[in-house]
């Protein structure tokens, strides 16, 4: 049974049983605890946590998931995957244990002719929580499984929670016996390789308290409504039903390995080491394409770094298979062909996905060249110093700066007969991870911290936002917090968070900054400087009490700063126009990848299919946008179903999670986008848009910054004054300035080069006198001294070579030191006769490097390096003399 069919049968089964079909959410998730959606229930968290009332009693989905903690283990085993699909059915206060067990059993053991999976009931095992007698009896009653195939397990294995105070409960796992050839008898408690878990049924019935770990927390009581959350591993069911050894051999994954076989000429299954590489390619290709499809771009932080690492591991694995030409585009096409039936957006958006992987591969191949140079230098230093082990900090630098996996560094070192200090490397990696965890913990605002907000939401419901049409409202304070704790009142000078039953204030979101303004009650005033939505549906006004005392339940007058709102709205509407202009100029592959709409300015990020955007194209976009402003188009907003909006041509953004109904903003016939922000009424209100700059902010992602309205006008006025001043200075017309300035700069550069030539000639002319100062040290002529301060490394090298030449045929060593800005550079050169006598420049460096707090290395005839202690130069010279 093909994987697409397994998905379809799952969804059809639960739809027939009254479940609402929910499409997979994007892999990007608005959750401070997660980089990506890592389980099927993640999109439903707000419903389980009570943050938002569920729009249905029953739901079913097949959710895209990515888990990244075990990236380094992928390929080494057949169990670890980064991307997988989790099929699930969910009940929000509707059916409970009996319904979950019965529905799962019907699908698993139902005949394939009638839409089931057709698993042999005699090979199904179940586990239950150790004291969940109800679940145990239901398995016996509903399925007829004998008692010996229902095993009890403890809290670590069969109790579920989110890791924070909130919903929790026992779970029941379904296992399939693969047969005695796969392991020992005795069920899942004995061998989880033979008995493979395929489905987990979570019975969400308890309310847990605070605590750490999987067991260290109290159960505070029962939930008022009991819920069901299940997860079935689609890929695991696929490899059982397709009768293959593991997920890598299933119908959607094996074609990627086949493509790698075609490219490399090697065969999967022939060599265990190559098999690891094939599996890495197959897994990471799927994960990478799915992440890019949902809007992730390769970068050096967070999600972008994970994606970059996945793609670079593919490139490295392919190179180890003997393929050196670009490959990511071909692998991406295979993933598109195999996964497109379930995720058609991979087909419609493939041009952008393909461009992202090709740009990233090109950048990394270039990085490999520069990184290899760094490796060669580091390896040369080790060898010249007589060592045999590359230091851990060098391996870490290659990993952290150049993206070299440690495996690649190990291989390159082995080729040069070197080992790598893996312990040192892993220690530095651990320290980096610890810093990242500490940083994440410092910024974390997890679900446990949102309990006060959820309490307000439970009591009073969502905030009614009136800001599209109103800038002032009469409201009531339904929530008042100070330092994150609910309080009845707050006096002058207190930083507070206010929650109103209705508000005109726009909460930050969609790239638009929050409104500011005031909230005034009888004798009290709060200055609002920020508005956020820490839980869905609730606007939290953050501010400071500037007069009187604000109290819970007070009637207040909420007023948005109209000047700021209008300015931000102009920027947001201008962003839509810039987006439309860029797409018209570069094509639909230029998709928005982020934005910032602030008073008087905007920032617009987009994927670029061609790299840097030429200034002429930007000028055309700017002209076109300002032409739209002159035409003073009507700006309309309407609420449509998501399907209606897409059919109307409205642009939706990658990675955004949309509801069934969406707000569409249309500007004339020029722009149409899904957007929840505030906008002008007519395009002419924007005034003027001035594009300031365009630059790269990551692989395949560009950023345009612009000024809007009065800020743009003031900028242009300042530019006019500046041009007038330059024209006066150069005695030229404004249109002649570029040529005149270029001529002046060219003359200056020519003069600087001439000065440099004269200075270098003067320096080299001193070589003869320096050679005459050579002292005899046990038959060797030694010239060791400090050159004039500020001599560059290149000049120092030339001077050392020239002094060496002046020493003639006798054994000679030249060591020159130069200090600048608190650091010292050095060069050591040896004559041919000195080298014949066993004096190699690179091997002399360690004799004096410690004195200047430095290091270096090189070849027998010339070595160089640097240090951090210029004051140690006299001691370094003495140490070198003593070594000779």
- What's 675's domain CATH number? 3.30.980.10
What is the predicted pLDDT for the residue at 656?
Answer: 59
pLDDT in tens, 422-439: 999 889 888 877 776 565
- Do the domain assignments include residue 736? no
- CA–CA dist 494, 535 (Å, integer): 23
Segment 349-394, tens digit of pLDDT: 898 899 889 888 888 887 777 777 888 888 888 888 888 899 998 8
Q: Is residue 228 located within the same domain as residue 257?
A: no
Mean pLDDT of the chain: 89
**573 and 550 both lie in a single domain:** no
The H helix count followed by the E strand count for the chain is: 27, 35
Query: What are 608-657's pLDDT values in tens digits?
Result: 867 788 999 999 999 999 999 999 999 999 999 888 888 888 887 655 56
3-state secondary structure of 787: coil
Under DSSP, is residue 139 helix (H, G, I), strand (E, B) or coil?
Answer: helix
**Is residue 725 included in any domain, yes or no?**
no
Please check whether residue 50 lies inside any domain of the structure.
yes
Please give the helix or strand (H or E) that residue 699 lies within, else none: none
Per the annotation, binding residues for Zn(2+) are: 572, 576, 675, 679
Q: Cα–Cα distances in Å, from 254 out to 263, 278, 581, 645?
A: 14, 10, 42, 37
pLDDT digits (tens, 9 = 90+) for 187-231: 999 999 899 999 999 999 999 988 877 888 999 999 988 999 999
- CATH number of 782's domain: 3.10.310.40
Token couple for 34: 């997660």
User: Which structural domain, as residue segments, surrounds residue 521?
Assistant: 450-560
Residue pLDDT, tens place only, 531-568: 999 888 899 999 999 999 999 999 999 999 999 999 99
pLDDT tens sequence across 702-721: 899 999 999 999 999 999 99
Q: Is 530 among the domain residues?
A: yes
What pLDDT score was predicted for residue 79? Answer: 67
CATH number of the domain within which 480 lies: 2.40.30.130
Q: Report the binding-site residues.
A: 572, 576, 675, 679
* Contact present, 574 and 686 (Cβ < 8 Å): yes
Please tell me whether residues 170 and 258 are part of one structural domain.
Answer: no
**Phi, psi (rounded to 5 degrees) for 259:** -65, -40
Ranges 76-85, 521-530, 699-708: which has the least confidence: 76-85
d(CA 365, CA 556): 61
Pairwise CA distance, residues 441 & 637, whole Å = 40
Q: Are residues 811 and 853 in the same domain?
A: yes
- 12 and 101 part of one domain: yes
- Considering the chain, what percentage of its residues have pLDDT values greater than 70? 95
pTM above 0.75, yes or no: no
Does residue 398 sit in the same domain as residue 339? Answer: yes
Query: What's the CATH code of the domain at 16?
Result: 3.30.930.10
| Residue of 460, 459, 406, 462 lying closest to 429 (CA atoms) | 406
What total number of domains does the chain contain? 5
Tell me, yes or no, whether 569 and 685 share the same domain.
Answer: yes
Give the strand pairing for 20-21 and 58-66.
parallel
* CA angle in degrees (0–180, nearest 5) for 429-432-434: 110
Domain boundary, last residue among 560, 578, 593? 560
Has residue 733 been placed in a domain? Answer: no
Task: DSSP letter for 611, please.
Answer: S
Domain limit, last residue, from 518, 541, 560: 560
Give the position of tokens 């630059």.
Answer: 695
Is 512 contained in some domain?
Answer: yes
- Going through 29-68 in order, the beta strands assigned E by DSSP cover 58-66
Kindly state whether residues 666 and 554 are assigned to the same domain: no
Domain boundary (377, 408, 442) is at 442
Answer yes or no: do 25 and 165 share one domain. yes
Indicate if the pLDDT at residue 98 is higher than 70.
yes
Share of residues in the chain with pLDDT > 90 (%):
64
Domain shared by 652 and 711, yes or no: yes
Residues 556 and 569 in one domain: no
Reduced to 3 states (helix: H, G, I; strand: E, B; else coil), residue 219 is strand
* Same structural domain, 132 and 198: yes
* Residue 432 within a domain: yes
DSSP 660: S
Ramachandran assignment for 168, one of left (phi > 0), alpha (psi -120 to 50 degrees), beta (any other): beta
Residue 346 lies in a domain: yes
pLDDT in tens, 430-464: 887 777 656 544 444 444 457 788 888 888 889 99
The confidence score (pLDDT) of residue 445 equals: 41
């Amino acid at each position: 049974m093909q994987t697409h069919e397994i998905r379809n049968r799952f969804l059809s089964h639960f739809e027939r049983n009254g479940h609402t079909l929910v499409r997979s959410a994007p892999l990007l998730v608005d959750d401070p605890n997660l980089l990506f959606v890592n389980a099927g229930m993640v999109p439903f968290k707000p419903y389980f946590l009570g943050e938002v009332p569920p729009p249905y009693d029953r739901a079913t989905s097949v959710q895209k998931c990515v888990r990244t903690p075990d990236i380094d283990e992928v390929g080494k085993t057949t169990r670890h995957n980064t991307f997988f699909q989790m099929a699930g059915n969910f009940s929000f206060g509707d059916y409970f244990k009996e319904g979950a067990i019965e529905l799962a059993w019907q699908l698993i053991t139902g005949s394939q002719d009638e839409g089931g999976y057709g698993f042999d009931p005699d090979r199904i095992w179940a586990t239950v929580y150790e004291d969940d007698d109800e679940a145990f009896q239901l398995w016996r009653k509903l399925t007829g499984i004998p008692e010996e195939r229902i095993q009890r397990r403890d809290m670590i294995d069969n109790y579920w929670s989110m890791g924070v105070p909130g919903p929790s409960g026992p779970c029941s796992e379904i296992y399939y016996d693969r047969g005695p050839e796969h392991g020992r008898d005795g069920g899942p408690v004995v061998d989880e390789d033979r008995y493979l878990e395929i489905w987990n049924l979570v019975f969400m019935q308890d309310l847990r308290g605070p605590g750490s770990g999987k067991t260290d927390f109290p159960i505070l009581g029962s939930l008022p409504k009991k819920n069901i959350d299940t997860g079935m591993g689609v890929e695991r069911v696929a490899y059982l039903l397709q009768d293959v050894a593991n997920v890598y051999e299933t119908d959607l994954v094996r074609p990627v390995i086949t493509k790698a076989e075609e490219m490399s000429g090697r065969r999967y299954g022939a060599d265990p080491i190559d098999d690891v590489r094939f599996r890495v390619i197959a897994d990471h290709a799927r994960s990478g394409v799915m992440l890019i499809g949902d809007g992730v771009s390769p970068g050096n932080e967070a999600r972008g770094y994970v994606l970059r690492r996945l793609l670079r591991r593919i490139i490295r694995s392919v190179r180890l298979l003997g393929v050196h030409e670009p490959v990511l585009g071909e692998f991406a096409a295979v993933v598109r062909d195999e996964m497109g039936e379930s995720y058609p957006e991979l087909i419609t958006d493939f041009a952008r996905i393909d461009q992202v992987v090709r740009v990233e591969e090109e950048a990394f191949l270039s990085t490999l060249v520069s990184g290899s140079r760094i490796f060669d230098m580091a390896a040369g230093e080790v060898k010249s110093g007589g060592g045999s082990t590359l230091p851990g900090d060098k391996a870490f630098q290659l990993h952290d700066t150049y993206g070299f996996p440690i495996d690649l560094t190990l291989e390159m070192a082995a080729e040069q007969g070197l080992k790598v200090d893996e312990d040192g490397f892993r220690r530095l990696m651990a320290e980096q991870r610890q810093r990242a965890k500490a940083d994440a913990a410092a910024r974390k605002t997890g679900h446990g911290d949102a309990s006060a907000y959820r309490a307000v939401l439970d009591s009073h419901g969502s905030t009614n936002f009136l800001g599209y049409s109103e800038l002032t409202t009469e409201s009531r304070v339904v929530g008042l917090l100070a330092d994150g704790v609910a309080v009845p009142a707050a006096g002058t000078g207190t930083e507070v968070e206010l929650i109103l039953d209705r508000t005109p204030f726009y909460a930050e979101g969609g790239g638009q900054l929050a409104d500011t303004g005031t909230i005034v009650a009888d004798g009290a005033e709060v200055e609002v400087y920020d508005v956020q939505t820490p839980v869905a549906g609730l606007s939290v006004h953050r501010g400071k009490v500037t007069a009187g005392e604000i109290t819970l339940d007070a009637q207040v007058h909420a007023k948005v700063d109209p000047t700021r709102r209008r300015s931000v709205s102009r920027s947001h509407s201008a962003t839509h126009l810039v987006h439309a202009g860029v797409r018209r100029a570069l094509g639909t592959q230029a998709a928005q990848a982020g934005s910032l709409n602030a008073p008087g300015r905007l920032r617009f990020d987009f994927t670029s299919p061609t790299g840097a955007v030429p200034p002429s194209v930007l000028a055309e976009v700017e002209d076109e946008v300002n032409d739209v402003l002159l035409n003073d188009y009507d700006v309309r907003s309407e609420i449509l179903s998501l399907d209606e909006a897409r059919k109307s041509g409205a642009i939706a953004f990658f990675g955004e999670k949309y509801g069934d109904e969406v707000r569409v903003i249309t500007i004339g016939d020029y722009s149409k986008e899904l957007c929840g922000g505030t906008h002008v009424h007519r395009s002419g209100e924007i005034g003027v848009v001035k594009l300031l700059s365009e630059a790269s902010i990551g692989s395949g992602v560009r950023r345009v910054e612009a000024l809007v309205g009065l800020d743009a006008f003031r900028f242009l006025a300042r530019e006019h004054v500046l041009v007038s001043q330059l024209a006066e200075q150069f005695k030229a017309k404004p249109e002649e300035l570029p040529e005149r300035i270029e001529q002046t700069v060219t003359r200056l550069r020519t003069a600087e080069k001439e000065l440099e030539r004269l200075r270098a000639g003067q320096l080299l002319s001193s070589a003869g006198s320096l050679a005459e100062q050579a002292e005899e040290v046990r038959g060797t002529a030694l010239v060791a001294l400090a050159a004039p301060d500020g001599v560059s490394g290149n000049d120092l090298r030339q001077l050392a070579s020239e002094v060496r030449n002046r020493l003639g045929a006798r054994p000679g060593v030249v060591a020159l030191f130069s200090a600048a800005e608190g650091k010292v550079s050095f060069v050591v050169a040896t004559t041919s006769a000195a080298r014949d006598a066993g004096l190699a420049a690179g091997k002399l460096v360690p004799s004096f490097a410690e004195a200047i707090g430095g290091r270096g290395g090189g070849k027998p005839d010339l070595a160089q390096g640097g240090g951090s202690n210029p004051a140690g130069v006299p001691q370094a010279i003495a140490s070198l003399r003593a070594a000779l």
